[in-house]
Amino acid sequence: MLDNKYHEKKFTKSAFNQAVECAMYAYYYRNSKDYAYHFDGVDGIAEVGDQFGALARVYEGVPDENIIRRDPTLSPVPAQMKTLVDTMRFLRMENADVAEAAFGTNNFLVYVDILHKRGDTLEIIEVKSKGIGADEPLYSFDGRGGKFKSDYLDKILDVTFQKYVVQQFTKFFESYSHLKVRAKLMLVNTDAVSDVDSLSSLLQIKFKDGHREVECASDIREKLQGKNNIARVIDVDELCDKIIADEIPEIANEKFNGCFVDFVEKVADMYVNNRKDYSLCKVDVKKFNCPFYATDEERKAGKKDGCAEFFKDMLGVDIAGKPCIVDVKGGSKGLPPSLKGNGWLEQKKLLLTDINEYEYVPAEDATPEAFQKRTKLSDNDLRFLHVHSVKTGEVAPTFLKAAAKAEMAKWTYPLHFIDFETYQGAVPLFKGSRPNEEVAYQFSHHVCYEDGHYEHKEGRGGEFISLEAGKNPNFKFVRELKKQLDNDDGTIFRYAEHENIILNAIRVQLIESDESDKDELVRFIEKITHPTGSCKYPFTAGPRDMLDLKAVAQKYFYHPMMGSSNSIKQVFPAILASDETYFRDHYGDDMDPYHNLPMLKEFAAKVDANKFPADFDDSDIWNDEKQINCGGISKLDYVMLQAGRFNKLHTEAIRQASLKYCEVDTLAMVRIWEYFRNNCEE
């Protein structure tokens, strides 16, 4: 067995994926109880990815009894040893199909998603829920100068690392030294059409003793027999070998300091011995994006700031709790000429206050009077205002009154403000749909009139929500949207590009459908949208193409509260602060509706239990302390709703909470319009 150097903390796939971005990330990750960590992910995406992982096991013929499960009752070392012993049992067989096979040496440990043993060959398959087209190349050498180019590099490196560790395992244990290792990558085929009813519901997400797992329906293999496979398996073995041998210079130099093996071995040693080694790191502008940063609240609570610690140790500059140069609009691409490239590094200018804002706008063009002569705020104007406000403490907004008034004169009343809530997942929810296909289940619609009043549920305004299990709501969604918007020719507003993208996607679905009214619905979509980047069925922008309120706000309004962001979550409070007297006089404590969103338990308490009974116990997934905000119903909860996992009472509570949240999003858009209208009339 393994010698006495066996470490409890092993260098795993997760640690490797951190180290690929920065060797020190692996250290912070190992010590994540001490360091703050901000994962930039989508709520529920891991759980939905687990569904595809379970589906992959079915596709690859792995029996349930061949899934190597980690025993949560054991301490780390015995648990790891047990998985290694279980794996070795399968390796002694001539042929075996295994999931979560463990391979490790003194410093390394990986769990392989799918392992096929055929004689002397071990085929490892890494399963990822990222989408790829049926004929889309995984990579190319089409970059500048014939350099390697891929949108899937992180997935490729993941399986490369696994192949390396499995190879080290076969060398470590002499009895397995004859085994050859081959690597493949399984991704989601976004061109595949599911011909299975409610495929997702055959893969039930369960929570047991604090652990998440996917339970396949007992008849899933029977139901998938002869059906379309939504996965695409790609042979990456030769590519992995080239990466390990440093035969692709841009990968070796960018990710591994020139040598894959040397980097991996040194980082693994650093990781298992829990020490820092800055010699494995290089300082570049990407390090400002370190996810191991701490907010003021987290620092007060005793959490360490890995990002600040890195720059302090490497450059002697303290950035903790301070805005940095990459916080300007555009990030590193938005730096002034003197700091571009390595200028910031050579001068050790890391803080936003180190920027000379007059490199963006000359002093003579930076007066309030000069700003009011502009027809719109440029990116450099916004950078100037941001940096200047941080350096001077300026709190007053900048509003281009004349330019905004000219813009508003082009609008046709009544104005329509719409917001969509959507779902996108690797495993299709409905028969006839594709992986990662957009599902539009809800919209909110406010209508504003020239005299200043507005409507939502009454009059011409409205809302729509469809949470019915097993029913794709997309076409019903468009029919209702058309019904509400087709009564006049008023200007339609969205916030950002999401609504346009969704309607473009549904347009394609309609064109390829057999719906009797599809031509009418397609014409409606084409009237209020413009084509996205890659348009399958080309068309020209419609005469009533929706206006982007985000772009409008950016052109004419800036407040220091916004920093460099134009998200509605930043613009809306800035609008309220810019005219607090008006909004408080008119709306009192309700002027910011986001602050008044109730918890789910408050909605549940008001549901008519006679009409919507708690017909079964769903306490394993129900969380009444949760609040629906920041994007609506989570991916996980939407999958659960489609699978009928919530009882009727809780389903109705979620429905009401989602309606309220979506209404608030369009109400925030109305408040922005109110500010523009009121300040242009003064």
pLDDT at 2 over 50: no
Confidence of residue 585 (pLDDT cuts 50, 70, 90): confident
pLDDT at 252 over 60: yes
- 283 in Cβ contact with 315 (< 8 Å): yes
Pairing of strands 121-132, 180-189: parallel
CA dist list (Å): 588 to 509, 591, 596, 676:
45, 6, 12, 20
- 303 in Cβ contact with 296 (< 8 Å): no
Burial class for 401, CB neighbours closer than 10 Å (0-12, 13-18, 19+): middle
Q: Check the CA dihedral 285-141-192-222 and report its sign.
A: negative
Q: Please state the rounded mean pLDDT for residues 144-157.
A: 89
Higher-scoring residue by pLDDT: 591, 141:
141
pLDDT at 155 over 50: yes
Rg of the chain on CA atoms, in Å:
28
Is pTM beyond 0.75 here? yes
Please name the amino acid found at residue 616.
F
- 46 in Cβ contact with 300 (< 8 Å): no
- 668 in Cβ contact with 604 (< 8 Å): no
- 145 in Cβ contact with 154 (< 8 Å): no
pLDDT at 162 over 50: yes
The helices-and-strands tally (H runs, E runs) of the chain is 24, 15
Angle between helices 306-315 and 23-30 in degrees, nearest 10: 130
Retrieve residue 266's tokens: 């040194």
Sheet holding 95-104, edge to edge: 95-104, 109-118, 121-132, 180-189, 231-235
- What pLDDT, on a 0 to 100 scale, did the predictor assign at position 1? 40
pLDDT tens-digit map of 77-136: 899 999 999 999 999 999 999 999 999 998 999 999 999 999 999 999 999 999 999 999
Query: Cα separation of 500 and 517, whole Å?
Result: 21
Retrieve residue 614's tokens: 């708690």
- What pLDDT, on a 0 to 100 scale, did the predictor assign at position 457? 75
Query: Cα separation of 613 and 617, whole Å?
Result: 11
Q: Please state the rounded mean pLDDT for residues 635-645.
A: 88
φ/ψ (deg, to 5) at 121: -115, 130
Query: Cα separation of 345 and 145, whole Å?
Result: 27
φ/ψ (deg, to 5) at 409: -65, -20
Q: Please state the rounded mean pLDDT for residues 489-515.
A: 97
φ/ψ (deg, to 5) at 128: -130, 140
Hunting for tokens 């011995």 — which residue is that? 273
- 589 in Cβ contact with 349 (< 8 Å): no
Q: Which residues of 554-593 are buried (b: 16+ CB within 10 A; e: fewer)?
A: bbbbbbbbbbbebebeebbbbbbebbeeebeeeeeeebbb
Q: Please state the rounded mean pLDDT for residues 590-616.
A: 86
- Nearest Cα to Cα of residue 414 among 464, 455, 443: 455
- 3-class DSSP state for residue 452? coil
User: Residue 123: which residues within 8 A CB-CB, separation 6 or more?
Assistant: 115, 116, 117, 182, 183, 184
Query: Cα separation of 382 and 557, whole Å?
Result: 9
Query: Cα separation of 381 and 366, whole Å?
Result: 8
- What rounded mean pLDDT belongs to the chain? 93
CA 590-596-601 angle, to 5 degrees, is 150
φ/ψ (deg, to 5) at 641: -60, -45
Hunting for tokens 């450059």 — which residue is that? 315
Q: Cis (ω within 30 of 0) for the bond into 414?
A: yes
Q: Check the CA dihedral 226-227-228-232 and report its sign.
A: negative
pLDDT tens-digit map of 374-419: 999 999 999 999 999 999 999 999 999 999 999 999 999 999 999 9
CA 20-23-28 angle, to 5 degrees, is 110
pLDDT at 440 over 50: yes
User: Residue 595: which residues within 8 A CB-CB, separation 6 or more?
Assistant: none
The DSSP letter of residue 228 is P
